[in-house]
Amino acid sequence: MARIKYYYDTETCRYERVKVSKWDIFLNLLGFLSVSLILAVGIIIVYNAYFDSPKEAQLKKENKELQFYYEMMEKEVNNVQKVLSSLQERDDEVYRNIMGAEPIPSSIRSAGVGGAERYKNIIESELERENLILDMMQELDKVKKQMYIQTKSYDEILEMAENKEEMMASIPAIQPIPNKELKRLASGFGMRMHPILKVVRPHEGCDFSAPRGTPIYATGDGEVIRVSSTFGGFGKLVVIDHGYGFITKYAHMSSFNVKRGDKVKRGDCIGFVGTTGTSTAPHLHYEIHKDGKPINPVHYFYQDVSDEEYEKLLELSSRENQSLG
């Protein structure tokens, strides 16, 4: 039952009953509805600002997943690009050099794969992240073309190699000491700190750390043209002439297993690891010279290492550290 309200009338000195008109009821109702509407709109604005609808939440989740997959794919494409670049470098600097073939011009390796017409369907789709998708498609097409060019280059090298068996047997192609776990390469080719003089100077070969007495192998067929012993410098040294402009040097040996004039085959034991001459620890200093100039021996381990192992050896040899002698 509704409560009845009264007011005191000073003219009649009596309590009179409060009468509510329809207009008052209408105004009260209108005010209530207005306040309710303002509160509802405020709640909706706050909710939309801080909370997602189920559809928006689903779209955000899908966008996040797509971004994750895109970043993964981009990372994989970059990894493939790095491996491909290494193969291209090895092809130009080693294989084609050995065969006397000209390197493939960079303008051909990095040539484009077509203009906007190639990606017309993507452009016309008006996708929200069109640029990301276009960039990825262009990178993939670039990698595919470079892989095709590299495959054709290998076909050409293989054809030349089939006609040059004697030359292939003579060219240095293996590591000079057992190194299956790739842990013996201590210092690489390039500028290195000399262990005794303590100055940075050209290091014209690679140092392999190994226990004294570890066998040392000829890295290609050839003729021993020098067997010498000195107090300093290379100490006990063997030099092999492989022909075709290639000469290899094996230094700091403890003892020899060949003499000058010997004919050797790839894999023959020519001596043993030591620390003679200017050396700080038992190791083999190994050099390759092509046409009288020292070159990076790591590029000539291709017969007994995989592409992944070659990458690891290349990384180890590029570290700027101190040589062993």
Q: Which of 130-134, 179-183, 184-188 has the lowest mean pLDDT?
A: 130-134
State the pLDDT at residue 34: 80
- The pairing of strands 222-228 and 215-217 is unpaired
Cα 316 from chain centroid?
14
38, amino acid identity: I
Mean pLDDT, to the nearest integer, of 207-214? 92
Whether 14 is covered by a domain: the verdict is yes
Say how many domains are in the chain.
3
Which of 5-19, 201-215, 256-270 is the most confident on average? 256-270
Residue among 315, 300, 306, 325 at smallest CA distance from 218: 300
Do 313 and 189 belong together in one domain? yes
CA angle, 63 as apex, 62 and 66 as ends, to 5°? 85
Whether 176 is covered by a domain: the verdict is no
* pLDDT value at 122 more than 70: no
256, amino acid identity: F
Do 139 and 226 belong together in one domain? no
Mean pLDDT, to the nearest integer, of 243-250? 94
Encode pLDDT of 41-92 as tens digits.
777 777 666 666 677 777 777 777 777 777 787 787 788 777 777 777 777 7
Residue 323 near residue 191 (C-beta atoms within 8 A) = no
**pLDDT confidence tier of residue 117, bands split at 50, 70 and 90:** low
Whether 177 is covered by a domain: the verdict is no
Do 191 and 278 belong together in one domain? yes
Encode pLDDT of 219-242 as tens digits.
999 999 999 999 888 999 999 999
Do 29 and 73 belong together in one domain? no
- Counting Cα atoms < 13 Å in the Cβ hemisphere of 141 gives 13
The Cα 253–Cα 325 span in angstroms is 12
Whether 268 is covered by a domain: the verdict is yes
Do 73 and 155 belong together in one domain? yes
Do 241 and 298 belong together in one domain? yes
**pLDDT confidence tier of residue 19, bands split at 50, 70 and 90:** low
Residue ending a domain, among 107, 132, 163, is: 163
- Output the average pLDDT for the chain: 79
Structure-model confidence comparison of residues 15 and 173, the more confident one: 173
Do 209 and 278 belong together in one domain? yes
Reading phi first (left if > 0) and then psi (alpha if -120 to 50, else beta), residue 226 is in beta
Do 21 and 82 belong together in one domain? no
Do 193 and 309 belong together in one domain? yes
The Cα 170–Cα 75 span in angstroms is 40
Instruction: Note the helical H segments in the chain.
Output: 22-50, 54-90, 96-98, 106-109, 120-125, 130-162, 165-170, 307-317
State the pLDDT at residue 174: 92
Q: Which of 108-112, 203-207, 245-249 has the lowest mean pLDDT?
A: 108-112
**pLDDT confidence tier of residue 127, bands split at 50, 70 and 90:** low
Q: What is the CATH number of the domain that holds 208?
A: 2.70.70.10
**pLDDT confidence tier of residue 126, bands split at 50, 70 and 90:** low
The Cα 268–Cα 256 span in angstroms is 12
Tell me the three state secondary structure of residue 200: strand
CA angle, 217 as apex, 211 and 218 as ends, to 5°? 150
Residue among 224, 203, 170 at smallest CA distance from 286: 203
Domain hosting 46: range is 6-50
Whether 179 is covered by a domain: the verdict is no
Whether 56 is covered by a domain: the verdict is no
Q: What is the DSSP string of 72-107?
A: HHHHHHHHHHHHHHHHHHHIIIIIHHHTTPPPPPHH
Do 198 and 304 belong together in one domain? yes
State the pLDDT at residue 322: 46
Radius of gyration of the chain (CA): 40
Do 152 and 201 belong together in one domain? no
- The pairing of strands 200-203 and 190-193 is antiparallel
**pLDDT confidence tier of residue 29, bands split at 50, 70 and 90:** confident
Give the largest CA-CA distance in the chain.
145
State the pLDDT at residue 299: 85
Whether 322 is covered by a domain: the verdict is no
**pLDDT confidence tier of residue 263, bands split at 50, 70 and 90:** very high
Q: Which pair of structure tokens corresponds to residue 301?
A: 């381990």
Q: Which pair of structure tokens corresponds to residue 229?
A: 């012993």
* pLDDT value at 191 more than 70: no
Mean pLDDT, to the nearest integer, of 296-303? 85
Whether 1 is covered by a domain: the verdict is no
Q: Which pair of structure tokens corresponds to residue 159?
A: 């054809």
Residue 221 near residue 242 (C-beta atoms within 8 A) = yes
Do 196 and 225 belong together in one domain? yes
* pLDDT value at 249 more than 90: yes
Q: Which pair of structure tokens corresponds to residue 250?
A: 């094996």
The Cα 281–Cα 284 span in angstroms is 10
Question: Cα separations (Å) of 5 from 19, 32, 68?
Answer: 8, 21, 69
Residue ending a domain, among 130, 163, 196, is: 163
